[in-house]
């Protein structure tokens, strides 16, 4: 359309370009409060427990908490929709049970177990998605019912007994490593697996290139970008951390297979939530349901698929968890939904929907993971551990609120 | 301090990061008067009232507030209420499922000796207050079942229950029809007679000239002038508000009307939850390319219901009738079908139906046309989105330091422009604008009218729904009147007079079906 001929009577105040320090405060500290907290937690744990940064422990961290991160990916989408899924712990047990029956009772190949578990997860998601999206029952209620239904199904499928051991390839999903593709070398006096380090190096280069391209894209459209020094600093920091991590675990058993799976999932879901219309629609629905509806967002459709996706990921987590445990138990995954939900809230998701990032949920999950890990290393009592986790959850969200309130303009 | 003045705000300066919201504002309010404040979008009226009521606490602004002869240092809204200052916001703050009486005494409950709620006293006292404000309802009626005009009265009754001395009303009549507005203004005069001082923020100039003893104009965070009500003229106020002479409140346009674009026949809609309640009764109308069609109707005539039911059946049940675009019958059963056929609907309630208040200007601007930013692989180009939002910022004069700013940081008029931008980006052929200038000031209204002119100049068909007769008459080429769900008249602009339209708008159905 042609230009509007009434001009504002006051010249528009343009944002003055921010100084380095201001930019650091505005865009780094404020938006990444949880990341800062994560760094602090790591430093504290590293000082407190000298085993914390050791190669075996860093390897274990990934093996132990990967399924929570997978669940948190789906949970974040559900939470941003202003819904919740309380059933995932039971679904993990149910899908793990299905896989165990397929592999151990029916003696089918390991991948048939994976397919069956994931397929059952999708069915569960479709079932719950139907009630939430089509019938309109709140997700809280539907999935509370689901928690009971699928726990019961898990018990029936397993005939009230544990099934184990998987062994073989199924076991390796969560416990296998890639090592010795290239010969080992001596680095800083340590015996390191070259393949692991190469993979991490490629990841770092990939990260740097993608950041660079994003920056170029923003510049091309004349968008604000971080000062060059900060930009390089950020990449260097990530590279140092990633390479240190790679260096450490390369001294242990090599590259965990589950780490590769996890990385792929995180990247895919990061893109889906960050820059696909599906993700954008989820934010729109959570932000203002009515406005989204009137903007042509297919609310029922998106809600349905978000639950299907949650079921899918619960199936994946069921596989990962049962592989990790090398068997299926009727009581597997109890309380796991709460860990996934906590990861999202610690990571800055809003309890009323519309706000939350994949990266945040992952950092939130990692905070929970490292704290649990640190407490186990220190040998804290069974009572103290959940108390501390509960306090961390409360304080993390309080900190996030305070951080946002402090820096935002009063309405 | 002059004893005649209940309030003096001296040299109030309030800054937010990057923005000076109030710059050395002075406001003097005489005891017992009705003091009107007017100004453009974001001029600082609401901020000034928030400073006064303690929403922005003492210490976060510069300057001095002298209230009842002493310096006031309010740290919260409770402090100011304690001193008899009550503010009623534009968006009413009532609890929808509680009764009128419960709402009146919310936070100020009537207790028995055992410190339990004394329901008899609550309802009896509420009834008394309701009588004072002329609200005829049962005190136990839930808030959600009464209209917005009556809700406004509940707010005032609530203020009276707190022995208010200085009552502040922010756009009290914005959502009211003429009858309710009249009643409210009469009520304010009545309160004045009881010694209550009143500050009223309003965009309806005729209304505030009618009622105010003093009018203060604020522009760009500065006081422009204060004048006695009788000395004010529309021209003077508008000049003060926009800082320039406005030759006309409605920009002129070339009339270049083309072929028929959109036709609705026998449109009938029933209430979504009350079976058998007819909301729209056999409505038929059409709009041509390059034409602005006005739909005039009083509150409850079914204007919004008509528009929303047409827009992808977003309202109502058992919808029947036919819609034609360029002579071909189309079915607009979902919002997506409506958008795909080039229909856009700008809602009357931008916060509820128009915006995602959690995000920024970019996300809101691109919400309806998001497919244009999406690559073949399904990725959204956020940078392009920012560029698009920036273009609309310039085109529509959206006042903001950056398009990355949160939508909540914009004033109402600028938020409205973002909603308009959202639909312009979807590139519609037929635009339905439902109360496009509600709650925005004269300058922004003029800009919206100019945008409408640009749209019809491009051959788009525009339907404007408005409760303000001057606006309907100012922008339309042809006007349909709506009354009790029926189209009661079609009036070319040349034949339209306020009297004639009002007669049609109040006409009741002759035959009950």
pLDDT at A342: 93
What is the value of ipTM here, to two decimals?
Answer: 0.73
H runs (alpha helix) in B162-273: 178-193, 205-211, 234-242
Which of A1, A222, A292 has the highest number of chain B CBs within 10 A, making it the mutation to test binding with B?
A1
Nearest CA in chain A to B445: A6
Of A301, A297, A275, the C-alpha closest to A287 is A297
Alpha-carbon distance of B180 to B444, in angstroms, equals: 25
Q: How far is CA A375 from CA A62, A65, A367, A383, A389, in A?
A: 16, 14, 12, 11, 10
Alpha-carbon distance of B18 to B21, in angstroms, equals: 9
Alpha-carbon distance of B223 to B22, in angstroms, equals: 9
Which of B43, B383, B389 has the highest number of chain A CBs within 10 A, making it the mutation to test binding with A?
B383
Tell me whether residue A50 is exposed, middle or buried, using C-beta atoms within 10 angstroms of its C-beta: 0 to 12, 13 to 18, 19 or more. exposed
Q: Which residues of A touch B347 (CB under 8 A)?
A: 294
Residue B253 lies inside a defined structural domain of this protein: no
Two tokens, residue A200: 């991490």
pLDDT at A17: 53
pLDDT at B15: 84
Average pLDDT over residues A387-404: 81
Do B418 and B432 have their domain in common?
no
Range scoring the smallest mean pLDDT among A32-36, A302-306, B120-124, B356-360: A32-36
Do B414 and B435 have their domain in common?
no
A344-386: pLDDT as tens digits:
999 888 888 888 999 999 999 999 999 989 998 888 888 998 8
Alpha-carbon distance of B34 to B192, in angstroms, equals: 7
Q: Do B220 and A10 touch (CB under 8 A)?
A: yes
Q: B293 and B460 in contact (C-beta within 8 Å)?
A: no
Least CB-CB distance to A4: which of B347, B383, B450?
Answer: B450
Q: From the CA of B351, how many Å to the nearest CA of chain A?
A: 8
Q: How far is CA B464 from CA A364, B168, B259, B497, in A?
A: 49, 32, 19, 17
Q: Do B458 and A9 touch (CB under 8 A)?
A: no
Look at the block and give the residue holding tokens 């309160």.
B191
User: How many residue pairs bridge chain A and chain B with CB atoms within 8 Å of each other?
Assistant: 140
pLDDT at A27: 66
Q: What is the CATH number of the domain that holds B216?
A: 3.40.50.300
Q: A183 and A236 in contact (C-beta within 8 Å)?
A: no
Tell me whether residue A224 is exposed, middle or buried, using C-beta atoms within 10 angstroms of its C-beta: 0 to 12, 13 to 18, 19 or more. middle
pLDDT at B257: 86
**Residue where one domain finishes, among candidates B242, B277, B293:** B242
Residue B350 lies inside a defined structural domain of this protein: no
Q: Do B335 and A1 touch (CB under 8 A)?
A: no
Do B41 and B141 have their domain in common?
yes
Do B299 and B390 have their domain in common?
no
Residue B103 lies inside a defined structural domain of this protein: yes
Domain that residue B378 falls in:
355-427
Two tokens, residue A174: 């969560």
In degrees rounded to 5, what are phi and psi of residue A321?
Answer: -70, -45
Q: Which residues of A touch B446 (CB under 8 A)?
A: 6
Alpha-carbon distance of B122 to B135, in angstroms, equals: 16
Q: How far is CA B43 from CA A7, A162, B46, B208, B403, in A?
A: 16, 70, 8, 17, 20
Residue B252 lies inside a defined structural domain of this protein: no
pLDDT band of residue A11 (cuts 50, 70, 90) is very low
Range scoring the smallest mean pLDDT among A81-95, A394-408, B190-204: A394-408
Least CB-CB distance to A276: which of B354, B379, B447?
Answer: B379
Residue B349 lies inside a defined structural domain of this protein: no
Average pLDDT over residues A236-258: 90
The pTM of this model reads 0.77
Instruction: Tally the domains of chain B.
Output: 3
Do B361 and B497 have their domain in common?
no
Least CB-CB distance to B358: which of A218, A224, A287?
Answer: A287
> What is the residue-level pLDDT of chain B in tens, covering all 513 positions?
456 889 999 999 998 765 678 989 999 999 999 999 987 666 788 889 999 988 899 989 999 999 988 899 999 888 898 899 999 887 777 888 889 998 898 878 888 888 888 888 899 999 999 998 888 889 998 888 887 788 888 989 998 888 899 999 988 876 677 778 888 889 999 999 988 999 998 877 778 888 999 999 988 788 989 999 888 887 788 778 777 554 567 887 777 888 999 999 999 998 887 777 788 989 999 999 999 999 988 766 888 899 999 998 888 888 999 999 999 999 999 998 999 999 999 988 888 888 888 888 999 999 888 888 888 888 888 888 888 999 899 888 888 888 888 888 887 788 889 999 999 898 899 999 998 887 777 777 888 898 899 889 988 999 999 877 788 888 999 999 988 888 988 999 888 887 788 778 777 654 433
- The b/e string for B322-338 (b: 16+ C-beta within 10 A; e otherwise) is ebebeeeebebebbebb
A16-30: pLDDT as tens digits:
455 667 766 666 666
A59-82: pLDDT as tens digits:
888 888 999 999 999 999 999 999
Of A17, A6, A18, A220, the C-alpha closest to B398 is A6
Of B145, B130, B210, B207, the C-alpha closest to B171 is B207
Do B66 and B164 have their domain in common?
yes
Q: Which residues of B touch A354 (CB under 8 A)?
A: 356, 358-359
Do B422 and B440 have their domain in common?
no
H runs (alpha helix) in B259-350: 303-310, 335-340
**Residue where one domain finishes, among candidates B192, B212, B242:** B242
CATH topology of domain A20-159+261-407: ABC transporter involved in vitamin B12 uptake, BtuC (1.10.3470)
Two tokens, residue B134: 């002329």
Model confidence at A290: pLDDT above 70: yes
Model confidence at A4: pLDDT above 50: no
Two tokens, residue B169: 């009303």
Of B371, B369, B374, B413, the C-alpha closest to B389 is B369
Q: Half-sphere exposure of residue A132, counting CA atoms within 13 Å on the CB side?
A: 31
**Residue where one domain finishes, among candidates B207, B242, B277:** B242
Q: From the CA of A268, how many Å to the nearest CA of chain B?
A: 12
Alpha-carbon distance of B186 to B159, in angstroms, equals: 17
User: What residue ranges do the domains of chain A occupy?
Assistant: 20-159+261-407, 179-254
Q: How far is CA B419 from CA A40, A291, B6, B42, B367, in A?
A: 42, 10, 40, 17, 10
Q: Do A295 and B422 touch (CB under 8 A)?
A: yes
What angle, rounded to 10 degrees, do the helices at A228-250 and A194-220 form? 160
Neighbour tally for A16: CB within 10 Å: 9
pLDDT at A407: 52
């Amino acid at each position: 359309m042609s230009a509007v001929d009434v001009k504002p009577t006051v010249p528009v105040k343009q944002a003055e370009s921010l100084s380095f320090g201001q930019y650091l405060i505005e865009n780094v500290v404020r938006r990444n409060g949880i990341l800062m907290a994560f760094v602090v937690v790591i430093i504290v744990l590293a000082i407190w427990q000298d085993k914390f940064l050791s190669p075996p422990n860093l390897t274990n961290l990934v093996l132990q908490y990967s399924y929570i991160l997978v669940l948190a990916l789906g949970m974040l989408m559900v939470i941003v929709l202003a819904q919740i899924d309380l059933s995932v712990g039971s679904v993990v047990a149910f899908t793990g049970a299905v896989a165990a029956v397929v592999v151990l009772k029916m003696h089918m190949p390991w991948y048939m177990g994976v397919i069956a578990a994931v397929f059952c997860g999708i069915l569960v998601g479709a079932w719950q998605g139907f009630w939430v999206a089509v019938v309109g029952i709140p997700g809280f209620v539907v999935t509370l019912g689901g928690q009971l239904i699928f726990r019961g199904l898990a018990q029936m499928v397993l005939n009230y007994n544990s099934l184990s051991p998987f062994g073989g390839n199924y076991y390796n999903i969560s416990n296998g490593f890639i090592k010795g593709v290239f010969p080992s070398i001596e680095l800083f006096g340590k015996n390191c697996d070259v393949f692991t380090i190469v993979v991490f190096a490629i990841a770092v280069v990939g990260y740097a290139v993608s950041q660079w391209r994003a920056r170029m894209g923003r510049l091309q459209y004349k968008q604000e970008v971080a000062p060059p020094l900060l930009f390089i600093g950020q990449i260097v920091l990530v590279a140092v951390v990633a390479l240190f991590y790679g260096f450490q675990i390369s001294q242990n058993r090599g590259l965990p297979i589950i780490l590769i799976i996890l990385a792929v999932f995180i990247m895919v879901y990061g893109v889906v939530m960050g820059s696909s219309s599906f993700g954008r629609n989820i934010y729109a629905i959570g932000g203002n349901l009515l406005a989204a509806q009137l903007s042509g967002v297919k609310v029922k459709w998106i809600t349905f698929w978000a639950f299907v996706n949650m079921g899918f990921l619960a199936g994946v987590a069921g596989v990962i968890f049962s592989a990790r445990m090398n068997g299926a138990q009727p009581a597997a995954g109890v309380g796991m939904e709460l860990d996934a939900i906590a990861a999202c809230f610690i990571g800055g998701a809003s309890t009323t929907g519309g706000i939350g990032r994949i990266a945040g949920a992952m950092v939130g999950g990692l905070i929970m993971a490292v704290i649990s890990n640190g407490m186990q290393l220190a040998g804290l009592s069974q009572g103290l551990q959940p108390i501390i986790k509960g306090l961390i959850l409360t304080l993390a969200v309080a900190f996030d609120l305070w951080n946002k309130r402090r820096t935002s303009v009063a309405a | 301090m002059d004893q005649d003045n209940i309030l003096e705000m001296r040299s109030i300066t309030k800054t937010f990061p990057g923005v000076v919201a109030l710059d050395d504002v002075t406001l003097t309010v005489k005891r017992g008067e009705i003091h009107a404040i007017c100004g453009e979008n974001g001029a600082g009226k609401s901020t000034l009232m928030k400073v006064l009521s303690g929403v922005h606490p003492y210490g976060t602004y510069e300057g001095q507030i002298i209230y009842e002869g002493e310096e006031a240092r309010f740290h919260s809204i409770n402090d100011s209420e304690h001193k008899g200052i009550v503010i009623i916001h534009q968006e009413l703050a009532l609890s929808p499922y509680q009764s009128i009486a419960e709402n009146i005494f919310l936070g100020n409950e009537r207790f028995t000796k055992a410190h339990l709620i004394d329901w008899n006293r609550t309802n009896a006292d509420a009834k008394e207050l309701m009588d004072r404000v002329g609200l005829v309802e049962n005190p136990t009626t839930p808030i959600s079942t009464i209209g917005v005009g009556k809700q406004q009265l509940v707010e005032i009754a609530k203020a009276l229950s707190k022995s208010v001395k200085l009552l502040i009303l922010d756009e009290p009549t914005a959502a009211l029809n003429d009858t309710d507005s009249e009643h409210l203004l009469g009520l304010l005069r009545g309160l004045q007679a009881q010694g209550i001082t009143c500050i009223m923020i309003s965009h309806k100039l005729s209304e505030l000239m009618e009622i105010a003893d003093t009018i203060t104009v604020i522009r760009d965070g500065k006081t422009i002038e204060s004048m006695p009500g009788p000395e004010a003229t529309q021209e003077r106020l508008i000049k003060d508000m926009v800082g320039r002479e406005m030759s006309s409140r409605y920009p002129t346009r070339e009339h270049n009307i083309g072929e028929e674009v959109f036709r609705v026949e026998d449109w009938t809609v029933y209430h979504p939850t009350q079976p058998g309640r007819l909301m729209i009764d056999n409505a038929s109308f059409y709009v041509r390319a390059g034409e602005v069609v006005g739909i005039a109707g009083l509150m409850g005539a079914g204007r919004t219901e008509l528009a929303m039911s047409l827009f992808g059946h977003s309202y109502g049940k058992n919808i029947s009738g036919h819609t034609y675009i360029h002579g071909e019958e189309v079915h607009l059963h979902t919002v997506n079908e409506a958008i795909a056929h080039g229909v856009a609907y700008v809602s009357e309630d931008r916060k509820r139906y128009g915006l995602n208040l959690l995000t920024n200007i970019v996300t809101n601007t691109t919400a309806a046309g998001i497919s244009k930013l999406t690559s073949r692989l399904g990725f959204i180009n956020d940078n392009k989105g920012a560029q698009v939002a920036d273009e609309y910022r310039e085109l529509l004069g959206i006042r903001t330091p950056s398009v990355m700013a949160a939508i909540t940081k914009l004033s109402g008029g600028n938020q409205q422009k973002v909603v308009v931008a959202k639909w312009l980006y979807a590139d519609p052929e037929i635009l339905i604008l439902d109360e496009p200038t509600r709650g925005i000031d004269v300058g922004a209204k003029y800009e919206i009218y100019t945008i409408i002119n640009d749209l019809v100049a491009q051959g788009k068909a525009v339907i404007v729904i408005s409760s303000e007769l001057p606006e309907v008459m100012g922008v339309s080429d042809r006007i349909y009147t709506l009354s009790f769900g029926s189209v009661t008249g079609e009036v070319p602009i040349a034949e339209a007079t306020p009297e004639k339209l009002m007669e049609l708008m109040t006409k009741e159905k002759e035959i009950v079906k």
